[in-house]
Amino acid sequence: MRRLIGLVFRCLCVKFLFISNFSALLFSTEKTLSENLAPILQKQIFFSPLQTKKQDQSLSLPVFVSPLQTPQPIDTLYTLMGVFFYSDGQEKNTAVLLEQSSKKIIFLKINDTINGNRVLAINDNGVVFQSPLGDRFILTTSGIRYNQVLPQRFYFKINMKNAFEWLRKQPEFLFTIAFASGNGIGFSVQEIEPGSIFEVAGFMKNDRVIQINDIILKTPKDAFGAYSEILKTGKKLAIVKLVRNNRPVELVYILE
């Protein structure tokens, strides 16, 4: 039973990254958990973790995951010159920014967006933004102030067309990582094959995966729910939250 649970979760952790119509060939969000497992067992790809048969090395498959540089903070791109602040109405407030590269002056109001960061409020001491990842921060004339400690983040791009080529031609790569459920929340990475796609995608041994987007992982069913939510909404961003060496880490995947 434990081995079966491990299989379910390993398959899901890959699958949530590869959103495409082709995913219906392996998993259907409308089927039950047991029905989802049937195609896998029928195709005899129930390999032992880290004991898979190696494919022909001459088989050329496109790479579908690649690391990205960490996005630049907004204060490295723009300088807050000042604000027009009116005490009788937030809708009148205006922030004046200088684009550092072009020296262009930009005027922002509440709900305007710049570099994916949305303006939540404009106060006499700065501009309150919300980042694409949900972080809130204040841009002042002297730089950025955060209201919370941010996790360490690693960014990746996923080419889903190439991802499904991998999944179709060598499905055993799903099992180059071994998860184990723990007490309470999350799943721990017990083993990971060096050089595997999972390692390239940012996972490390002893990582404890606790959340995918807004869904906290307590059971393998939660992982299926996370995948289903991404599929239904068509989100282009998947965030895996984990604990590494007792510190919060986020793996951010941009889905293309």
pLDDT in tens, 78-91: 999 999 988 887 88
Residue 145 neighbours by CB distance under 10 Å:
13
- Judged on CB neighbours under 10 Å (0-12, 13-18, 19+), 53 is exposed
How many Å apart are CA 118 and CA 128, to the nearest integer?
A: 8
3 state SS for the chain: CHHHHHHHHHHHHHHCCCCCHHHHHCCCCCCCHHHHHHHHHHCCCCCCCCCCCCCCCCCCCCCCEEEECCCCCHHHCEEEEEEECCCCCHHHCEEEEEECCCCCEEEECCCCEECCEEEEEEECCEEEEECCCCCEEEEECCEEEECCCCCEEEEEEECHHHHHHHHHHCHHHHHCEEEEECCCCCEEEEEECCCCHHHHCCCCCCCEEEEECCEECCCHHHHHHHHHHHHHHCCCEEEEEEEECCEEEEEEEEEC
Let me know how long the chain is.
Answer: 256
| 171, 29 contact by CB (below 8 A) | no
Query: Looking at residue 256, what is its pLDDT?
Result: 85
| 137, 118 contact by CB (below 8 A) | no
Instruction: Look at the domain 2-64+159-255 and name its fold.
Output: Pdz3 Domain (2.30.42)
* CATH number of the 74-146 domain: 2.30.30
Backbone angles phi, psi at 151, to 5 degrees: -70, 160
Q: Where are the domains of the chain?
A: 2-64+159-255, 74-146
Give pLDDT < 70 ranges for the chain: 1-62, 182-183, 231
Query: Looking at residue 60, what is its pLDDT?
Result: 54
pTM of the model: 0.73
